Structure 1
Amino acid sequence: MVDSLLLIFMIIGILGIGSQWIAWKFQLPAIVVMSIAGLLAGPILGIINPEQAFGDLYRPFISIAVAIILFEGSLNLNFKEVKGLGKPVFRIVTWGAFLAWILGSLTAHYVAGLSWAVAFVIGGIFIVTGPTVILPLLRQSKLKPVPAKILKWEGIIVDPFGALLAVFAFEIIMFLSADSRDASALLLFLLASLFAVVLGYIFGKVIGWAFETGHIPEFLKSPAMFGAVITCFTIADEVKHETGLLAVTAMGMTLANMGISSIKDMRHFKENISILLISTVFILLTSSLTVDTLMDVFRPEIIGYVLLMLFVVRPVSIFLSTIKSGLSLQEKTLVGWIAPRGIVALTVASYFANVLEDEGFEGASLVTSLTFALVFSTVCVHGFSIGWIAKKLNLSSQGKPGAIIVGSNRFSVALAKVMEELKIPVIVVDSSWDRLHRARRAGINHTHGEVLSEQMEYTIDFTPYDYLISATEYDSYNALVCSTCIPGFGRKNVFRLPRQTRSGDHLENIDNTIGGKELFTPPEGIEELKYKLKAGYVLRKTSITEQYTCEEYLRNKHKETVLLFVLKHSKQIEFFAEGNETTASAGDTIVSLTPPSKEFNKIKEKLEENKKASN
């Protein structure tokens, strides 16, 4: 076993981030990969045991990590956005969550054999599905809008409240199970909880005010936020244990509803920190498991508990809470099946396992095994089945990866038109109704709005779209859109039109790391592309076959042809862009902007062939 703390930190970092990369590369659930990595490094091979190595620092680190993860989740709870979510979402996050808590607690007591206290605490934790798990699954499975919206918002809304439900359940059960019930102890907890909420509200208001008024410079905003979260959590937790989670949740919700202009930057920072912490904490927890704890996973009562949670508790709570909600049977079935528990459930449950064990509650020693079994099972089962079951229920929008085109003009509409002809999902977005008239007239799917506005995240269903193309007349705006959207789409999927040399913003010296990749071969600015279309150039689709290869096409094409993209036989899209080695093989289709002369020659040849055939 490694004894050096420095080496242990290095191993945890490599395993955590390496697992995230492998999961991204091979489209696997990240928690599954991290679980395997942690188990191999910990109980199986015995390379590291962080709990033993870190000693007294282990629990405080886990607590702070959980606080930051919950804070990041609560930053998404904007009441204005939640209001318009509709009856199904409201019912699922209220009645559905309550039913899941009660049914899950009863199952934990009667099947897993846990005491009432432990059962109701973990029952509250396990209502959490969590955006850290569900959002990657939704991106991967490409569900239709209704089930995707329900699962997304259930994860976002319930995420911070599962831990808080566990806190309140723990304190109330502590009061009820005490030999001499002292109402003052419960009153003290309620007062401490009120203090935590007020503290979180004050911290949120103060930090938001400081950000908006410029009292904190841009380069210090992220560190200041990080420090404020830890301070808020620590103060509340020192006043009364377990109320720190309530304080950071209140702080995040306060900031989310203040309308702060820099909230998106804070969200990106917190997402990055959360990914780092999630990776680290998951490796810490799984590698600290003992062989005995791991073997407990295979106990009949734990297996029975997991099966009932999968096949009874979740479906029943969804079906009962969505009666007369307007959802179809297929939608209820899918939502009732998909409920992967993730890092929040595991970290919070591990946190409470120690607390419950210290208090001497019966069954507390099984909490970690039970949680790991449920988390690992749900992530594996739901992660690998969501795409299959969505197709079977006809709730999958699987097809060719789509594109969002920002800017409505002659070229962008023509590009969208040819994509629609190829059955590629496409939408044109513009903030001007006047410019959108081209898209409306062409019958192209379009929406009015500012793509940089947060509201667009809720106006557009981003599920069908893997690529973003910024194609406006303004080079600086294109660069800004791409830079803003890179975190959501990924750097390799965000593109902009080449900068204009004779007009536009004259950004010749702009850093090439700003914005997305420049499109097309050879690179042509928007004015040149619009001019060519006006002069009669056409967007042409050329099929590549065994007889007519890509090499032959490239040799024969007109020198003025602009190569746009290749639609692969596998339905993937490869754009001709800087840094891309785009090629085509048999079964692929090359889309290009072709001079009119070639079209005229082809028409002339066809007329002559028809004339000869008639003679």
Structure 2
Amino acid sequence: MLQNVYASASSLRDHDHRGQFMNDNPALAAALIVFIGAAAQWFSWWLKLPAILLLLIAGLAIGPGLHLFSPDDMFGDLLFPFVSLGVAVILFEGSLTLRFSEIRGHGQIVTRLVTLGAGVTIVVAALGAWMLGLLSFEVAFLFGALVSVTGPTVIIPILRSVGLTRNAANVLRWEGVIIDPLGALAAVVIFQFVAVDTADPGNFILIAEIFAAGVALGAGAGYAFGWLLRRHVMPDYLHNVIALALVLAVFVGANEIAHESGLLAVTVMGIFLANMRDVDVEDILDFKESLTILLTSILFVVLAARLPTDAFTANWTMVAALMGIILFVARPLSVLVSTAGTSMPWAERAVLSWIAPRGIVAAAVSGLFAIQLDRAGVEGAQTLVALTFTVIVTTVLLQSLTARPLARLLGVADPEPRGLLIVGGNPVAHAIADSLKKLDFDVILADTSWNETRKARMGGLRTFFGNIVSDDADRRLDLVGIGQLLALSTRAPLNTLACLRYAREFGSGSVFRIRVADQAENVAAIEGRLLFKEDTTYEALEQKLAEGWQIKMTKLTDEYGFQKMLEQQGGEGIPLYAVSRDNVVYPFAEDRTFKAGPGWQVANLVRPAEEAATPEASAAERAKSHLQTESPPKLPD
């Protein structure tokens, strides 16, 4: 059986001489691991692939592939605490994203998928692994819990490349966001029963102690830290450092009180903190996201390097059968149960049944559990990791390649996205966003100022409150139907970063940025095409809006074309964007050429009508029938 193969491979690993190149120089090894992890993240972003794929490939290459690195030989007894602390931080960061209001707020199908559907997946995957003889009954259920988790880091890149309809895409996206911490919690709970011999009735008391210690310490630490944040007793610059220190302290302290309760404690702590009223954890989440990227990059390379050479080839017929059960039985049955009695079309249900890639939580937690189970003498620890990694690679690769053709075949692929993402909550961004919304375009306005975001939301705009280039934006920002970026922030570096980030999302020809005073102009094209006239800066537009200038829509005809419109404005008006007859937005930019013909509409920033009524403007009065005026709501001073 696979267990015997992995046990023999693991014992041989302690006696061979692989890994000497990196192991003989720990400083070099550490630097190379960090570099390899960062490079894998970068290339995955460039290729629009989930980072986990390249991280696993890198780890397998330097470990069992080329024998350049052996984590067990290099770290020795420090490997377990290093991996444990890293996974603790990852689980805490994931649990910080779980808000109970989101489970209730995203529909019946999402709620069922992350509860009833996840339970179906756990049971079917577990029974499959057990009946095929790959894992013992207890470890099989732990495997089932691990492979029930999709996660935003793998689902979102696939969704962005597929272009599903809004309904199906939102269900999959929110399932990944919510099930990430829930699945981790389920895996941690099941692990307690696997790690403790339940055949001894006395051990149920030990399990109860583990749960009591984990829940009590986690909830207590979460409430205490939230209380401190709510009362502002700590300086802002220490929030992230103290949060990290507290997570590590809670993890270690819980393990000291009740062995193996640390992961449960940090998960409960994050969930408790995320759901406290009047507690802002966004800054902490931003910091933890960056730290999590670094930790996952390192952990995945290290954990993949530990796998035996034949991890993916031993007993491959049984492994292939298990993959078939997970892909064609577990997931479809989960979706069928979760969508029963709903109005979701069968084509969308079919797409949901196919798209369910596994990701970060499954890989990181399985690697840690394998080390713990090995130390506890539980059979099948290495098999657990190998099977989990096989599921990850199979689902990510197979579904990345086939999801879009399937969506097109079933008719659930979204048409060409025509919405716009606008960066900035200032008066200029708000006015342009409002004018687009009045034309029935899908617009999202993003800003880091709560006040500006709230004003836009009160005006009826869709908003995103947070850093537009953060992992939180990747996880929570709904870009279904969005195809262009207008970077209108007053912060030139943010505009540049936003254009760099979303050039890969929308294409370099669909990201635009506004000029900001004193900004260098020798910027690469990928950093955003310059908007509007050569001498038009953000400050100039803001000043004109403050003076009462308005955005007016002009409809072009055969008699009243674009050039005639410019002449009537006396050279003062500023064309902002044009809308074609097939309802596509074309922002005016320095390097952009398009022909706005009859039937098009052009948005111009022009003087108020009473100021423009001069003798020279008499021709404009004669063309009044061609103008359709739409003024934005009154802007704050």
Same fold (TM over 0.5): yes
The answer to whether the aligner puts 1:447 opposite 2:461 as a matched pair is yes
Q: 1:535 to 1:56 in 2, by over 3 A?
A: closer
Q: 1:145 to 1:13 in 2, by over 3 A?
A: same
Corresponding position of 2:94: 73
145, 160, 163: which is aligned to 2:181? 160
322, 327, 347: which is aligned to 2:344? 327
The answer to whether the aligner puts 1:35 opposite 2:47 as a matched pair is no
Corresponding position of 2:300: 282
Residue deviations 1:136-194 (CA, integer Å, cap 9, x gap): 3334434333222322232233222333333433443566663xx2x332112212211
Shift of 1:453: 12
Corresponding position of 2:564: none
Structure 1 residue runs without a partner (length 5+): 437-445, 472-477, 501-507, 510-515, 542-556, 605-615
202, 224, 243: which is aligned to 1:225? 243
Q: Out of 387-396 and 6-15, give the one that drifted further.
A: 387-396
Distance in 2 (CA, whole Å) between partners of 1:344 and 1:163 is 7
Shift of 1:408: 10
What SS does the aligned partner of 1:295 have?
coil
Distance in 1 (CA, whole Å) between partners of 2:239 and 2:409 is 47
| C-alpha contact (below 8 Å) 2:195/2:376 kept by paired residues | no
The answer to whether the aligner puts 1:249 opposite 2:262 as a matched pair is no
Residue deviations 1:86-140 (CA, integer Å, cap 9, x gap): 2212211221111111111100011253211221121122111122222333344
| C-alpha contact (below 8 Å) 1:34/1:279 kept by paired residues | yes
Corresponding position of 2:331: 314
Distance in 2 (CA, whole Å) between partners of 1:433 and 1:487 is 20
Corresponding position of 1:397: 414
Distance in 2 (CA, whole Å) between partners of 1:68 and 1:599 is 69
Q: Out of 104-113 and 245-254, give the one that drifted further.
A: 104-113
Q: 1:161 to 1:351 in 2, by over 3 A?
A: same
Distance in 2 (CA, whole Å) between partners of 1:164 and 1:453 is 28
Q: Out of 530-539 and 350-359, give the one that drifted further.
A: 530-539
Q: 1:464 to 1:434 in 2, by over 3 A?
A: closer
1:138-217 alignment runs, 5 A limit: 138-173=159-194, 178=199, 181=200, 183-217=201-235
Q: What is the TM-score when the length of structure 1 is the normalising length?
A: 0.76
Shift of 1:304: 1.6
Corresponding position of 2:396: 379
What SS does the aligned partner of 1:525 have?
helix
Percent identical pairs in the alignment equals: 31
What letter corresponds to residue 121 of structure 1 in structure 2? Answer: L
| C-alpha contact (below 8 Å) 2:437/2:461 kept by paired residues | no
Residue deviations 1:580-613 (CA, integer Å, cap 9, x gap): x845599999988599999979x99xxxxxxxxx
| C-alpha contact (below 8 Å) 1:497/1:525 kept by paired residues | no
Q: 1:584 to 1:400 in 2, by over 3 A?
A: farther
What SS does the aligned partner of 1:114 have?
coil
45, 59, 64: which is aligned to 2:80? 59
Q: Out of 125-134 and 383-392, give the one that drifted further.
A: 383-392
Residue deviations 1:446-496 (CA, integer Å, cap 9, x gap): 53779569999999844333656577xxxxxx5489969978994879977
Distance in 2 (CA, whole Å) between partners of 1:233 and 1:414 is 49
Shift of 1:381: 1.5
Corresponding position of 2:363: 346
Distance in 2 (CA, whole Å) between partners of 1:72 and 1:535 is 43
Q: Out of 97-106 and 328-337, give the one that drifted further.
A: 328-337
Distance in 2 (CA, whole Å) between partners of 1:371 and 1:533 is 60
The answer to whether the aligner puts 1:21 opposite 2:33 as a matched pair is no
What SS does the aligned partner of 2:396 have?
helix
What SS does the aligned partner of 1:291 have?
coil
Corresponding position of 1:553: none
Q: 1:80 to 1:560 in 2, by over 3 A?
A: same
What SS does the aligned partner of 2:358 have?
coil
Distance in 1 (CA, whole Å) between partners of 2:461 and 2:361 is 36
RMSD of the TM alignment (CA)? 4.7
Corresponding position of 1:133: 154
The answer to whether the aligner puts 1:520 opposite 2:532 as a matched pair is yes
| C-alpha contact (below 8 Å) 1:538/1:594 kept by paired residues | no
Corresponding position of 1:84: 105
What SS does the aligned partner of 1:205 have?
helix
Structure 2 residue runs without a partner (length 5+): 1-20, 447-452, 504-509, 520-527, 558-568, 607-611, 624-637
The answer to whether the aligner puts 1:46 opposite 2:46 as a matched pair is no
Corresponding position of 1:440: none
Distance in 1 (CA, whole Å) between partners of 2:229 and 2:462 is 30
Q: Out of 125-134 and 519-528, give the one that drifted further.
A: 519-528
Count of residue pairs the alignment pairs up: 554
Q: Out of 299-308 and 383-392, give the one that drifted further.
A: 383-392
| C-alpha contact (below 8 Å) 1:499/1:525 kept by paired residues | no
Distance in 2 (CA, whole Å) between partners of 1:537 and 1:424 is 14
Distance in 2 (CA, whole Å) between partners of 1:431 and 1:351 is 42
Corresponding position of 1:365: 382
| C-alpha contact (below 8 Å) 1:408/1:435 kept by paired residues | no
What letter corresponds to residue 544 of structure 2 in structure 1? Answer: E
Corresponding position of 2:289: 271
Q: 1:394 to 1:48 in 2, by over 3 A?
A: same
Residue deviations 1:40-72 (CA, integer Å, cap 9, x gap): 222222222233211111121111111111111
| C-alpha contact (below 8 Å) 1:128/1:159 kept by paired residues | yes
| C-alpha contact (below 8 Å) 1:467/1:489 kept by paired residues | no
Distance in 1 (CA, whole Å) between partners of 2:387 and 2:206 is 31
What letter corresponds to residue 542 of structure 2 in structure 1? Answer: I
Q: What is the TM-score when the length of structure 2 is the normalising length?
A: 0.74
| C-alpha contact (below 8 Å) 1:134/1:152 kept by paired residues | yes
Distance in 2 (CA, whole Å) between partners of 1:598 and 1:282 is 68
Distance in 2 (CA, whole Å) between partners of 1:373 and 1:237 is 30
Shift of 1:399: 1.6
What SS does the aligned partner of 1:403 have?
strand
Distance in 2 (CA, whole Å) between partners of 1:326 and 1:484 is 41
What letter corresponds to residue 60 of structure 2 in structure 1? Answer: L
Distance in 1 (CA, whole Å) between partners of 2:393 and 2:332 is 19
Distance in 1 (CA, whole Å) between partners of 2:143 and 2:76 is 25
Distance in 2 (CA, whole Å) between partners of 1:268 and 1:487 is 16
Distance in 1 (CA, whole Å) between partners of 2:109 and 2:551 is 52
Corresponding position of 1:464: 481
The answer to whether the aligner puts 1:99 opposite 2:120 as a matched pair is yes
| C-alpha contact (below 8 Å) 2:490/2:516 kept by paired residues | no
Distance in 2 (CA, whole Å) between partners of 1:121 and 1:411 is 50
What letter corresponds to residue 147 of structure 1 in structure 2? Answer: A
What letter corresponds to residue 340 of structure 1 in structure 2? Answer: P
| C-alpha contact (below 8 Å) 1:42/1:288 kept by paired residues | yes
